[in-house]
Amino acid sequence: MKTLKQVADSLQGYDPQALRADTALEFLQTLVTPVLQSESVEIKAALGRVLASDVVSPIDVPAHDNSAMDGYAFRGEWLQAGTELNLEIAGTAFAGKAWSAPLGPLQCLKIMTGAVMPSGLDTVVPQELVQVTGQSIRIPVGALQRGDNRRFRGEDLSLGKPALLAGTSVGPAALGLLASLGLAQVEVRRKLRVAFFSTGDEILSLGQSPREGAVYDSNRYTLFGLLTRMGVEVIDMGVVRDDPQALEVAFKQAANEADAIITSGGVSVGEADHTKAVMRKLAGGESGVAFWKIAMRPGRPMAVGRIGDAILFGLPGNPVAVMVTFLAFVRPALLTMMGAAAKDTPLLKAHSLEAIRKKPGRTEFQRAIVANASDGNLQVRTTGQQGSGVLSSMASANGLLLLHHDQGNVAIGEEVDVLMFDGVI
pLDDT of residue 423: 67
Q: What is the pLDDT of residue 271?
A: 54
Residues 175 and 219 in one domain: no
Same domain assignment for residues 92 and 23: no
Tell me, yes or no, whether 52 and 71 share the same domain.
no
User: Do 282 and 210 share a structural domain?
Assistant: yes
Q: Are residues 235 and 202 in the same domain?
A: yes
Q: Which of 309, 337, 365 marks a domain boundary?
A: 337
Query: Are 284 and 331 members of one domain?
Result: yes
Q: pLDDT truncated to tens, each residue of the chain (425 aa)?
A: 788 999 999 998 899 999 999 999 999 999 999 999 999 999 999 999 999 999 999 999 999 999 999 999 999 999 998 899 999 999 999 998 889 899 999 999 999 999 999 999 999 999 999 999 999 999 999 999 999 999 999 999 999 999 999 999 999 999 999 999 999 999 999 999 999 999 887 887 888 888 887 788 889 999 999 999 999 999 999 999 888 999 999 999 999 999 999 999 888 765 546 888 999 999 988 789 999 999 999 989 999 999 999 999 999 989 999 999 999 999 999 999 999 998 778 899 999 999 999 999 999 999 999 999 999 999 999 998 777 667 788 889 999 999 999 999 999 999 999 999 986 66
Report whether 321 contacts 388 (CB < 8 A): yes
Kindly state whether residue 208 falls inside one of the protein's structural domains. Answer: yes
CATH for 52: 3.90.105.10
| Residue type for position 309 | D
Is 247 part of any domain?
yes
Residues 387, 289, single domain; the answer is: no
- Do 252 and 311 sit in the same domain of this protein? yes
- According to the model, what pLDDT value does residue 273 have? 61
pLDDT at 385: 78
Looking at residue 270, what is its pLDDT? 57
Whether the bond into 298 is cis, omega within 30 of 0: yes
CATH number, domain containing residue 396 = 2.40.340.10
Number of structural domains (the chain) is: 4
Q: Is residue 142 part of a domain?
A: yes
Interhelix angle for 244-257 vs 275-283, to 10°?
50
Tell me how far CA of residue 212 lies from CA of 48, 183, 203, 209, 388, in angstroms.
42, 59, 11, 10, 21
Residues 296, 316, single domain; the answer is yes
Looking at the fold, whether 124 and 203 belong to one and the same domain comes out as: no
> Would you call 387 helix, strand, or coil by DSSP?
coil
CATH number assigned to the domain comprising residue 11 = 3.40.980.10
8 inside domain? yes
> How many CB atoms within 10 Å of residue 80?
9
CATH assignment at residue 140: 2.170.190.11
Say if residues 265 and 199 touch (Cβ distance below 8 Å): yes
pLDDT of residue 189: 97
The candidate with the shortest Cα–Cα distance to 106, out of 77, 71, 83, 144, is 77
For residue 283, is it within any domain?
yes
Among candidate residues 299, 308, 184, the one with its CA nearest the CA of residue 251: 308
Residue 158 lies in a domain: no
pTM of structure: 0.88
Classify residue 163: in a domain, yes or no: no
Whole-angstrom distance between the N-terminal and C-terminal Cα of the chain? Answer: 31
Residues 6+ apart with CB under 8 A from 270: none
Cβ neighbours, 10 Å, residue 183: 17
Domain holding 140, by residue range, is: 66-151
C-alpha angle 291-295-298 in degrees, rounded to nearest 5: 90
Do 48 and 31 fall within a single domain?
Answer: no
278: in domain:
yes
Q: What is the pLDDT of residue 213?
A: 77
Both 220 and 301 in one domain: the answer is yes
